[in-house]
A and B are shown apart, each in its own frame.
Chain A
Amino acid sequence: MNTLNNYWLRRVLSSLLVIAVVLSLNFFLFRLMPGDPTGSLLDPRFSPEAKQELLKSYGLDKPLSQQFFMYVKQMLAFRFGISFMSQRPVWQELAERLPNTLLLLFPALLLSAVLGTLLGVAAAKGRGRLTEKAVLLSGAISFSFPSFFVQLVLLLLLAHAFPIFPLRGSLSVPPPTGFWNLVVDRAWHMALPIASLVLLGFGSWALYVRNLMVKVLGEDFILLARAKGLRENEVLWGHAFRTALPPIVTIFFLSLPGVISGAVITETVFSLHGIGKFLLDSVLGHDYPAAGAAFYLMSLVTVICNLLADVVYTFVDPRISFRRLR
């Protein structure tokens, strides 16, 4: 049991290390920026006293080490300060955008995982057939085509040439009244972004699942299961897929950071009001509190996902606790 605790302790410690690195990056990177932090807020005609006052109100007159500890304390308490651009609390801005990002990412990830898994299993079953070739091709395409290009082409086709979907935004302006109208409008706006993410994502999923399944299907216990006279579906899903499940679940969680990265581009292409676009706009607008907070939040989600991947792995793979103990 001791080893097991050690393992979890190590995992949690390394997650904390990641957060520490991210926080220090956040702190020092934005302080490397050229210029005076009060420059964007203060008119040059203000007196030096007013400037000192402002520096003091932000705590910028204290030594750097003290500032750093203050900063870490604030970040851990989710107090992100006031955005330079909108003059509103950054937390409010982020909270406003978070649902949009989640509504984009989770359906997309879930759909591409399910579609990719189904196709991957089908490809592994029908080796050398058309399904497998299609899966291999779509995998290669999803590795080499830039996501924004595919999304731009989809926009051009389905929003400009054949205006089925809206060109931009996550809601009509003005938004429709009534709950169901709102839901339908939201779905209509999210359809193209989600579809593009699924299109870009399912290929690598399918490829991964296919490779796993091909390996598993070649093992002896599958031969045994077939020899026992089990139905093909039982062999495929009950035996082979069950064995390949743990790595698939891990990859599901491990792919979340990449998906979050993708949000920056997807939200920019489709002009969605989400965290990714917020990060980009803050960086471009030199809004340091906002940019730092958005980046911190994204890293936090990544770290939590990595931990979750480990936790879930122990549930899906009953061998793991024994292996760690030995």
Chain B
Amino acid sequence: MSFWRLDTLFLAFLSLLALLTPLLGPVNEAVAPPFCKPLWLDHESGKPLSLNAKDNSLSFTWESKPPKTFSVKGTVTFEDVPKSASLLLAGPSKTYKLVDLAGYRNFDVDIDSRDVPLKLFLGLSPFVDVSSVIFSERGAYSLFIASDVKAHVDLNLNIYTGKWGIFGTDQRGRDVFRLTLAGIRISLLVGIFATLIASTLGMGLGLFAGYLGGLADSSIMRGVDVLLAIPTLPILVVISGVWGRGLWQIVFVLSIFSWMGTARVVRSLTLSLREAPYVEGLRALGAPTGYILARHFIPEAMPLLLAQMALGVPGAILAEAGLSFLGLSDPLMPSWGRMLHEAQVFGAFTSGAWWLIFPPGLGIASICLAFISVGRRFEEMADPRLREMAER
């Protein structure tokens, strides 16, 4: 049985993506209007345009229905103070004056079609959608500067249609595809670290309880019973509400409440190993307890522990997603649960924005399925009887 199968390849691919997340740049910034559809979903509106003007005029054609918004940003530098100058946007039949530049040598242009001053400047009502007025016709458009002195221009014209990127945008206009990619990192970090801490804790306490027996055993196992009897999600909600919402707080809280299963498994293994003849032999030879535990018990428990870990990761990922979904996570941390939380709270339903729900949801499910599949294989390696049962 080879290690590299679909599930492990998938997890390796995800880990690689998670490592590359910093290359995405800031994911929390708005890149387009809110609730844009994915590019491949919307065939009616045109492609979003992003054009840069270096010389005095910029020409393009607009062949679809009016865009949602547009913006012009950048600088205009004149060689001398102009007496008359303006930034114009010419359509097939009409020319609109966007800004009056007269009297300034350097001018920072920052126009958004949603700005009320622009609407008033154009002589429109504050409630009119400027882009639907200007881009109401199809044909050739040009952005240019009319002035009495020569101008150096560095302007960016962005025309936003109702579609953006591979997965569209969310309620703040953030790119959902990049948020989804960034979410991989959080899920993997929380899942793996919470499980690592929990299994270390569980293994330590399980070994301790099983090997020493007596009072240590009964008190640890009593603690396990108590923790197992406390309803998990409510206590997590209470603790993260009290403690704070950072990534490591969540990791820590999750690991405190998920070591019990491992402790039980390791304890029962230790109980059976403790009476094994070879261990008795080791003791008779004078091997110290620490040596026996480290050199014989831990390697013996390892396959089982690996399986427990791989099967524990989905639990931690789901718990983190649940907490984030309930709004108990850092709002600046782009996790999948947080995305679903925002989709629910900020009206993905009223705008029918299903593309906000599927990427994070299917992301969580696929990571969990992959870990479960890997865990099952570890389990079969640890206990070959399971394989026979599965084949039978």
Contact = CB atoms under 8 A, between A and B. Distances in A.
Interface stretch (A37-45, A50-58, A150-158, A229-237): A150-158
A295 B357 contact: no
Given A152-B344, A156-B354, A156-B357, A302 B322 contact: no
A18 B238 contact: no
A152 B340 contact: yes
A22 B230 CA distance: 8
Nearest to A214: B389
A15 B231 CA distance: 13
Contact of B242 (A33, A141, A148, A265): A33
A149 B234 contact: no
Contacts of B337: 146
A14 B226 contact: yes
A191 interface: no
B124 interface: no
Given A17-B222, A143-B372, A144-B314, A30 B242 contact: yes
Interface string B14-51: 00000000000000000000000000000000000000
Interface in A237-283: 257-258, 260-262, 264-265, 268-269, 276, 279-280, 283
Most A CB within 10 A of own CB, among B234, B318, B328: B234
A257 B231 contact: yes
Interface string A293-307: 011001100110010
Contacts of B235: 25, 295
A283 B340 contact: no
B124 to A, nearest CB: 34
A227 interface: no
Given A283-B238, A299-B230, A264 B326 contact: yes
Contact of A260 (B231, B238, B369): B231
Contacts of B229: 15, 18, 257, 299, 302-303, 306
Contacts of B354: 156
A262 B231 CA distance: 10
Given A33-B242, A146-B321, A160-B349, A152 B357 contact: yes
Interface string B207-232: 00000000000000010011001111
B239 to A, nearest CB: 7
Contacts of B225: 14, 18
A185 B378 CA distance: 50
Given A145-B365, A146-B322, A149-B365, A167 B233 contact: no
B349 A144 contact: no
Contacts of A113: none
A146 B318 contact: yes
A30 B168 CA distance: 41
A153 to B, nearest CB: 7
A261 B369 contact: no
Contacts of B266: none
Interface size class of A (residues with CB under 8 A): 35 or more
- Dominant secondary structure of chain A at its interface with chain B: helix
Contacts of B155: none
B303 interface: no
A97 to B, nearest CB: 14
A32 B362 CA distance: 38
A160 B352 contact: yes
B231 A161 contact: no
Nearest to A20: B226
Contact of A146 (B232, B344, B365): B365
A169 B328 CA distance: 22
B234 A295 contact: yes
Given A155-B349, A156-B349, A161-B352, A291 B344 contact: no
Interface string B348-367: 01001010011011101100
B297 interface: no
Given A144-B314, A153-B361, A284 B241 contact: yes
Contacts of B357: 149, 152-153, 156
A269 B231 contact: no
A326 B41 CA distance: 69
B145 interface: no
Nearest to A292: B238
A17 B242 CA distance: 23
B369 A140 contact: yes
Most A CB within 10 A of own CB, among B314, B326, B349: B326
Contacts of B322: 146-148, 265
14 contacts: A18-B229, A143-B368, A146-B318, A148-B325, A149-B362, A160-B352, A258-B231, A261-B232, A276-B234, A279-B237, A283-B238, A284-B327, A298-B231, A299-B230
A-B CB proximity, top 8 nearest: A149-B361, A283-B241, A261-B233, A144-B368, A18-B229, A257-B231, A145-B365, A144-B369
Interface of A: 14-15, 17-18, 21-22, 25, 29-30, 32-33, 140-141, 143-149, 152-153, 155-156, 159-161, 167, 257-258, 260-262, 264-265, 268-269, 276, 279-280, 283-284, 291, 294-295, 298-299, 302-303, 306
